[in-house]
Structure 1
Amino acid sequence: MADAALLSPQDPAWTEALDRVRHDIYHIPEYVRLDAGLTGATATAYRYDEAGRVFLLPLLLRPVPDTDLQDAISPYGYPGPVGSQDAAFWSRAAAAMTDLLAAEGVITAFARLHPLIPGCQEALADSGTLVHHGETVSIDLTLSPDELWSQTHRSHRNQINKAKRAGVEIVFDRWDLFDDWIKTYHATMRRVGATDFYFFGADHFHSLRAALDGHVHLAVAVADGRILGGNLFFEYAGMMHTHLQSTADGPVLYADKLLYHEVRLWGRARGNTTYHLGGGVGGSADSLFRYKSQFASGRRQFHTWRVVIDRCNFEKLAGPLTPESMTGRFPPYR
């Protein structure tokens, strides 16, 4: 007997499903609820059960402007589906999801898959389009410190040493520096011309820390009493992810390189197994990817999953459904 449902963050069935499968911080209801609040979306999780197996996918339901319809998208990060390892089961779960979302007036669904958690991703192609975007960079924290150092590109090693000689120090979980770090984050967003979405307010940062207590950490680079930058990162179930990073305006004495180095040593000492740095913009092999790739040799594949649930309304909003409309910006009417 199969059962499919959309769950609210308050529903204990959400956390009960997660207790049965490997998952990350992006899947827990507290994280999804906070992310939904940034855009006024509705936080939910699709759960599918069948013969003792479970499948779960967090989603944000968003109203489509000037219609009475919705679409569904992943929260920020890597909250792709997790579940029992059975390709045929995943295929049936995906098919049941399209039926359930259609009944909710949902036009499309978009999900970012998790590069670190194995799944039956190819089975998702039965109900939609699986798009490969490229590689992400991961650091194997089971390696020794010497092995981690040897995998670091010589230019990064040189600059890490320069930062140390310049007196840059990395301090962890100094929450009295949180508000000052937030200012450096906003300065970074202005400097790179980020969209309004990325200018998270101080209230969001403090809510994130409170909701994810014990799983969100702050590493700050300081020298001569000045904050040079920092990384806000997650630690959950042996996996670490850089969530947001910043560097201050003005000379930063290679603090960015030293931050990554010290965070990986900190994570290794705490028994974590993987530090995921992510990839380039949109998964591309750009300058950001090359920068990250010089910290480690680990590579993971990054995919997204796109589903057209209501083809008629999709074509009213976006024109004819084509291969290009499924592999470019999705959904194309946004």
Structure 2
Amino acid sequence: MAEAAVLKPDDRAWADTLSRVRHDVYHRPEYARLDAGSSIAFRYAEAGRVLLLPLLLRPVPDTDLHDAVSPYGYPGPVSNASSEGFFERAWQAFKDLLCTRGVVTAFVRLHPLLPVPTRPLAGAGTLVRHGETVSIDLTLTAEQMWSQTHRSHRNQINKARRAGVTVVFDDWSRYDEWIDTYHATMRRVGATSFYFFSRPYFQTLQSTLEDKVHLAVALSPSGEVLGGNLFFSYGGIMHTHLQATRDGDVRHADKLLYDEVRAWGRAAGATVYHLGGGVGGAADSLFRYKAAFSPGRQDFHTWRVITDPRAYDKLAGTPTPEALEGRFPPYR
């Protein structure tokens, strides 16, 4: 017998469902609470098979409606099922249930390392491939990972070490100084307001995720903070959440940080270190920079769903391929 439900973070069914499926830190209820908005998860169960998808509900201005969006990161659907028929039924239930709750659309960022069948996703909505992300296989030896690193990166990592740059882990007394560095980096690169996470956000991130979040800080020989890598490690999967270096000469501290973090992860028993991709999934300079650390590649998709077609028509008109594949939802 099938059952579809919307869960709140304090609902025991959220944690119980995660105990039955492979998942990541992005699927944890405590992570969902970090983002502004009303945190929920869609759960679908059928004959011992389950699916869970975390979401944030946002009010649609000047209406009593909402739309749904993934929390920041890669909190795409996770499941212990493999049958495409299961996912077809789950996504129909997803659309029906959200529609009854006044949700017009859903925008979902899929997890590159925890894929689900794509055909049912495309049948229920619009699946957009943005590009590739980069990952490092931490089951390799240190020598194998080093040999997969591009020669220019290896040279600069060695230069950083010869210059006396060191990396320390989980020295949270350096957290505030690194946060200042992060904000300065966002100003330097002209980042949008979305990426200017507040100091309370960073503090809540650490206190909420506890041993699932770590800080690697690169120090000059005199003890100055040159940069840092804030990363997640959970269930064998690691992600760089945010990395930043200060203005000026950082003596290749950025590349040394990635090298030291992957060594930390391998020693801690993690199996994969996900670096992410370029801006918006593009094969840009940021992607090429990450790609020089490893040949590991995965596709990155987003999924766009109209859950209430009548309400959507009133807000944005008849859906077109351009509207469904571009900025979504278009009424935002």
Same fold (TM over 0.5): yes
Q: 1:267 aligns with which of 253, 257, 265?
A: 265
Secondary structure at the aligned position of 2:230 is classed as strand
The equivalent position to 1:182 in structure 2, one of 163, 173, 179, is 179
After superposition, residues 47-126 of structure 1 pair within 5 angstroms as 47-83=43-79, 84-126=81-123
The one-letter code of the counterpart of 2:29 is P
**TM-aligned CA deviation for residue 265 of structure 1:** 0.6
* Counterpart Cα distance in 2 of 1:132 and 1:118: 13
Alpha-carbon distance in structure 2 between the residues aligned to 1:86 and 1:74: 24
For 1:133, the equivalent position in structure 2 comes to 130
Give the alignment partner of residue 240 of structure 1, picking from 238, 241, 247: 238
Q: Give the TM-score normalised by structure 1.
A: 0.97
Report the equivalent of 2:23.
23
Q: CA deviation at 1:3?
A: 0.9
Q: Which amino acid aligns with 2:40?
A: T
**Match of residue 207, structure 1, among 204, 209, 220:** 204
Q: Secondary structure at the match of 1:143?
A: coil
Q: Return the offset for 1:303.
A: 0.8
Counterpart CA distance in 2 for 1:305 and 1:86 is 19
Tell me what 2:38 maps to. 42
The answer to whether the 8 Å contact 1:122/1:130 transfers is: no
**Mapped partners of 1:280, 1:94: distance in 2:** 29
Matched, 1:216 2:232: no
Q: Counterpart amino acid of 2:34?
A: L
What's the counterpart of residue 7 of structure 2? 7
Indicate the percent of aligned positions where both proteins have the same amino acid.
66
SS of 1:220's equivalent? strand
Secondary structure of 2:211's aligned partner: coil
Q: Paired residue for 2:290?
A: 292
Q: How far apart are the structure 2 equivalents of 1:312 and 1:14? A: 31
RMSD: 0.9
d(CA) in 2 for partners of 1:320, 1:286: 33
Q: Which amino acid aligns with 2:128?
A: V
CA apart distance, 1:268: 0.5
1:212 match: secondary structure: helix
The separation in 1 between residues aligned to 2:276 and 2:25, in whole angstroms, is 15
* Displacement after TM superposition at 1:192 (Å): 1.1
Residues 96-118 of structure 1, C-alpha deviations (whole Å, 9 max, x = no match): 01000000111100111110113
Deviation at 1:316, TM superposition (A): 2.4
- What SS does the corresponding residue of 2:33 show, helix, strand or coil? helix
1:229-284 CA distance string (max 9 Å, x none): 00000000000000011111111111000000110011001111000000011111
**1:194 alignment partner AA:** A
Q: Secondary structure at the match of 2:96?
A: helix
Residue 318 of structure 1 pairs with residue 316 of structure 2:
yes
Kindly state the Cα deviation for residue 317 of structure 1 after the two structures are TM-superposed: 2.1
For 1:308 and 1:117, the matched residues in 2 are separated by 24
Note the C-alpha offset of 1:120: 1.9
* AA of the residue aligned to 2:285: S
Shift of 1:329: 1.1
Between Structure 1 and Structure 2, how many residues are aligned? 330
Looking at structure 2, the residues matched to 85 and 24 of structure 1 have their Cα atoms a distance apart, in angstroms, of 18
SS in 2 for 1:97: helix
**Aligned match for 2:191, one of 191, 194, 209:** 194
Distance 2:115 2:55 in 1: 19
Match of 2:329 in 1: 331
Q: Distance in 2 between matches of 1:42 and 1:249?
A: 37
Describe the SS at the equivalent of 1:253.
coil
> 1:77, CA displacement in angstroms?
0.4
* Residue range with higher mean Cα deviation, 91-100 or 119-128: 119-128
Tell me the secondary structure at the aligned position of residue 136 of structure 1: strand
Give unmatched runs, 5+ long, in structure 2.
none
Q: For the residues of structure 2 that align with 1:311 and 1:96, how far apart are their CA atoms?
A: 15
SS of the counterpart of 1:213?
Answer: helix
Structure 1 gap ranges (5+): none
Kindly report structure 1 stretches of 4+ aligned residues shifted beyond 6 Å.
Answer: none
Deviation, structure 1 residue 183? 0.5
